[in-house]
Amino acid sequence: MNFAKQLLSVIGGVTTVKIATTADEILEPLKKTVYQELSDFDVLQEANRCLFCYDAPCIKACPTHIDVPSFIRKITTGNMTGSARVIFDANPMGASCARVCPTEELCEGACVLSEESHSIRIGDLQRYATDWVRERDISLFVAGPSTGKTVAIVGAGPAGLSTARDLARYGHKVTLFELREQLGGLNTYGIVPFRLPAEIPLWEAAQVTHLGVNANTGSKIGVDISLQALVDSYDAVVLAFGMGSVPRLNIPGEDLHGVWDAIDFVDKVKRGEDVGILGERVGVIGAGNTAIDAATCSRRLGVPHVTLYYRRGEQHMSAYKFEYEFAKQERVEYRWYSTPKRILGEGGRVTGVEFVKTRLDSDGMGGMRPIAMEGSEYIEPMDTVIRAIGQSKLSAMLQLDSIGVATRAGVVVVDDQFRTSNEKVFAAGDCTFTKGQAEAMVVEAAQQGKLAAASIHEYLSL
Ligand SMILES: Cc1cc2nc3c(=O)[nH]c(=O)nc-3n(C[C@H](O)[C@H](O)[C@H](O)COP(=O)(O)OP(=O)(O)OC[C@H]3O[C@@H](n4cnc5c(N)ncnc54)[C@H](O)[C@@H]3O)c2cc1C
Ligand code: SF4
């Protein structure tokens, strides 16, 4: 293992860089999770603060509408399996969501106690209850009586797995087609291990396969098997293939050694693969959750100076508040209103980036767009550049038009029942993500999967 060789340690507020000697030493900071562990006493005390509101606002604010007062009440009576059942019934990704949901913007943000004191720590209680059953490997649900109908699902991330779980509970025979070796999508491969260790989504996926769902991993639809073959062989098909890699910046120097795609970078780190020497300075381009994950990951790998560059201002960044706060705690630095113009190199390796300052101007459609201010160029020395400017669309690669599925700007078009323009084909999750309509987040993908399953069940019951 030849990970970034330096390992950061903070002793008494003084940052020192020491040479890590073993793989375990290098990987240790990646394993140290960000959430606070709760004792049984803390949990009971927190659960007993809940007012168990009638018509509770937290239920409405949760995209999967978990009956929060019910699961918390069950914790107070020591019925942990019952509590977890309430959570997972509404949200098949309940253990992952307990760790990655932007709770202050969802359930906790709606808690009536937030006005007087502080909200109930719903995410932490949810983590406690779901961990309780996970640690004991308790299976909560069973498959429904067989209907004889078959469904193929393309992609086994939160959307595909949630659809599969509910279809199996309805009694349909489900087969997942997943190109990676393991199930879970970005929960397993994309979100940094110190926010979401892979063992959590892998256990959630096992809960799904335990219901008799077939999982064909290492199987790329569109290459190994055509979409048409699925449409011909199954009673219904679900598209849940998410989004792709980070788009290129399209600037000179992008192919130099030391330029990374953020998703690829986190993926390798999460799987314990070698990412080589990152150097003293890492620059991350972007300000969404992918950028935060790449930046904090670099810090935990021991890089002393990690800076995030964004072409708009702090108030425009798309990362959640909790992610931004976390990155600040991890000492990630920021440069606002800056966009890269070219990547500089020597001997085939990155040495710096030339940026140009930006300002916002009207885009003529009611929004604001960043404009480069010529003459404001500046150079930042850098050893590694990580691009994190969103994710590309995969629909072109899958040739959806070959099965009569319409797309708009690369996004699968669905109606409010998650039906596509082909009556046998449904879609859910990030592959249907359109800015301004829903958030690309795990809890949203889980909810869409559930709703798609209900819609497919209705279609198959006709
Ligand atoms: C770095 C990062 C950090 C994030 N942090 C958060 C967070 O803190 N909180 C939050 O709520 N959300 C977060 N998100 C967003 C969240 O991960 C996604 O919204 C969610 O995973 C979408 O689920 P999905 O099932 O639609 O797609 P994915 O999770 O992308 O799953 C799609 C699956 O389809 C598979 N696939 C693709 N093409 C094919 C094919 N041709 N054949 C077979 N299989 C295929 C993929 O391998 C993948 O497993 C983050 C995303 C990233 C990238
Ligand atoms: S799934 Fe997320 S939003 Fe819903 S109650 Fe749990 S932590 Fe809150």
DSSP state of 170: H
For Cα atoms 407, 408, 413, give the angle at the middle one, nearest 5 degrees. 55
Q: What is the CATH number of the domain that holds 111?
A: 1.10.1060.10
Residue 14: pLDDT band (50, 70, 90) is: very low
Same domain, 201 and 78: no
Once rounded to an integer, what is the mean pLDDT over residues 91-109? 96
In a domain, 24, yes or no: yes
Specify whether the backbone of 222 is left (phi greater than 0), alpha (psi in -120 to 50) or beta. left
Query: What is the SS3 string spanning 6-62?
Result: EEEEEECCEEEEEECCCHHHHHHHHHCCCCCCCCHHHHHHHHHHCCCCCCCHHHHHC
Once rounded to an integer, what is the mean pLDDT over residues 229-242? 98
Same domain, 311 and 222: no
Helix (H) or strand (E) holding 320: none
Residue 31: pLDDT band (50, 70, 90) is: confident
- The whole model's pTM is what? 0.93
Q: Give distance in angstroms: CA of 185 to centre of ligand 1.
A: 5
Once rounded to an integer, what is the mean pLDDT over residues 115-134? 94
Same domain, 25 and 82: no
Of 387, 405, 422, which residue sits at a domain end?
387
pLDDT tens digits, 181-197: 999 999 999 999 999 99
Same domain, 423 and 374: no
In a domain, 271, yes or no: yes
Same domain, 23 and 53: no
Q: Give distance in angstroms: CA of 94 to centre of ligand 2.
A: 8
Q: Which two three-digit tokens encode residue 371?
A: 């404009």
Q: What is the pLDDT at residue 123?
A: 97
In a domain, 140, yes or no: no
Same domain, 167 and 219: yes
Is 70 exceeded by the pLDDT of residue 275?
yes
Residue 436: pLDDT band (50, 70, 90) is: low
Same domain, 276 and 357: yes
- Cβ(318) to ligand 1 under 6 A? no
- Cβ(185) to ligand 1 under 6 A? yes
Once rounded to an integer, what is the mean pLDDT over residues 222-239? 96
Same domain, 126 and 89: yes
Tell me the average pLDDT of the chain. Answer: 92
Q: Which of 59, 125, 126 has most ligand 2 atoms within 8 Å of CB, for mutation?
A: 126
Q: What is the pLDDT at residue 396?
A: 77
Q: What is the pLDDT at residue 129?
A: 98
Give the number of the atom of ligand 2 that is nearest the alpha carbon of residue 98.
7
Q: What is the pLDDT at residue 130?
A: 98
Same domain, 325 and 456: no
Helix (H) or strand (E) holding 283: strand 281-285
Is 50 exceeded by the pLDDT of residue 18?
no
Q: What is the CATH number of the domain that holds 250?
A: 3.50.50.60
Residue corresponding to tokens 């994309």: 190
In a domain, 1, yes or no: no
CB 313 within 8 A of CB 337: yes
Give the number of the atom of ligand 1 that is nearest the alpha carbon of residue 290.
1
Same domain, 310 and 367: yes
Is 60 exceeded by the pLDDT of residue 231?
yes
Q: What is the pLDDT at residue 23?
A: 58
In a domain, 144, yes or no: no
Q: Give distance in angstroms: CA of 165 to centre of ligand 1.
A: 17
pLDDT tens digits, 393-423: 887 778 899 999 999 989 999 999 999 999 9
pLDDT tens digits, 337-361: 999 999 999 999 999 999 999 999 9
Distance of CA 33 to the CA centre of its chain: 16
Is 70 exceeded by the pLDDT of residue 26?
no
CA separation for the pair 35, 32 (Å, rounded)? 9
Q: What is the pLDDT at residue 22?
A: 52
CB 221 within 8 A of CB 240: no
Which string of b and e fits 13-30 if b means at least 16 CB within 10 Å?
A: eeeeeeebeeeeebbebb
DSSP state of 427: E
In a domain, 174, yes or no: yes
Domain that holds residue 282: 6-32+246-387
In a domain, 145, yes or no: no
Is 80 exceeded by the pLDDT of residue 21?
no
Is 50 exceeded by the pLDDT of residue 9?
no
- Cβ(440) to ligand 1 under 6 A? yes
Once rounded to an integer, what is the mean pLDDT over residues 159-166? 98
Say which ligand is closest to the CA of 97.
2
Q: Which two three-digit tokens encode residue 298?
A: 């670099």
- Cβ(158) to ligand 1 under 6 A? yes
Q: Give distance in angstroms: CA of 411 to centre of ligand 2.
A: 26
Q: Give distance in angstroms: CA of 265 to centre of ligand 2.
A: 28
Query: What sign for the dihedral angle of Cα 406, 205, 170, 97?
Result: negative
Question: Which percentage of the chain shows pLDDT scores above 70?
Answer: 94
Of 340, 371, 387, which residue sits at a domain end?
387
pLDDT tens digits, 285-303: 999 999 999 999 999 999 9
Same domain, 224 and 186: yes
Of 88, 105, 135, which residue sits at a domain end?
135
pLDDT tens digits, 373-398: 999 999 999 999 999 999 998 877 78
Nearest CA to ligand 2 atom 4: 62
Once rounded to an integer, what is the mean pLDDT over residues 23-37? 77
Same domain, 287 and 366: yes
pLDDT tens digits, 47-72: 999 999 999 999 999 999 999 999 99
- Cβ(395) to ligand 1 under 6 A? no
CA separation for the pair 67, 297 (Å, rounded)? 34
- Cβ(102) to ligand 2 under 6 A? no
- H-only helix segments in 321-429: 321-329, 395-398
In a domain, 266, yes or no: yes
Once rounded to an integer, what is the mean pLDDT over residues 229-251? 97
Is 50 exceeded by the pLDDT of residue 242?
yes
Say how many domains are in the chain.
3
Is 90 exceeded by the pLDDT of residue 238?
yes
CA separation for the pair 339, 325 (Å, rounded)? 23
